[in-house]
């Protein structure tokens, strides 16, 4: 594959370093408090294989906590950015609802 043809795709998991940065806390603090965040705030459970969380669910949870896309600044004056941010939020919320309720009515 030509090096100019490389397309980076986001991982389906979010690591503890990235999640701690998004939450504005230290890794040590997050390791200590994630079970409480899960129980009281609905934070997704971490993966059993290590200190990683499902990216789509975690992004949806972060947006539900802050009402904004994590680590992204939006410009309300730019209709293209605003529409993209809105669609991303709708998609993440839809994924979170599907994960929680499994498509049940």
In terms of Cβ atoms closer than 10 Å to its own Cβ (0-12, 13-18, 19+), residue 75 is exposed
Q: pLDDT tens for residues 54-95? A: 998 998 888 887 654 444 444 455 555 566 777 787 888 888
Q: What are phi and psi of 89, to 5 degrees?
A: -65, -45
Q: pLDDT tens for residues 29-46? A: 999 999 998 898 889 999
Domain extent listing, the chain: 10-101
Q: What are phi and psi of 17, to 5 degrees?
A: -65, -45
pLDDT at res. 69: 43
């Amino acid at each position: 594959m030509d090096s100019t043809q490389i397309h980076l795709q986001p991982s389906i998991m979010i690591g503890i370093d990235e999640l701690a940065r998004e939450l504005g806390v230290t890794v040590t603090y997050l390791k200590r408090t994630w079970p409480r965040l899960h129980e009281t705030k609905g934070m997704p459970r971490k993966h059993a294989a290590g200190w990683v969380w499902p990216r789509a669910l975690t992004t949806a949870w972060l947006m539900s906590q802050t009402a904004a896309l994590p680590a992204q600044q939006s410009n309300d004056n730019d209709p293209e950015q605003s529409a993209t941010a809105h669609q991303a939020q709708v998609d993440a919320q839809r994924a979170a609802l599907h994960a929680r309720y499994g498509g049940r009515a």
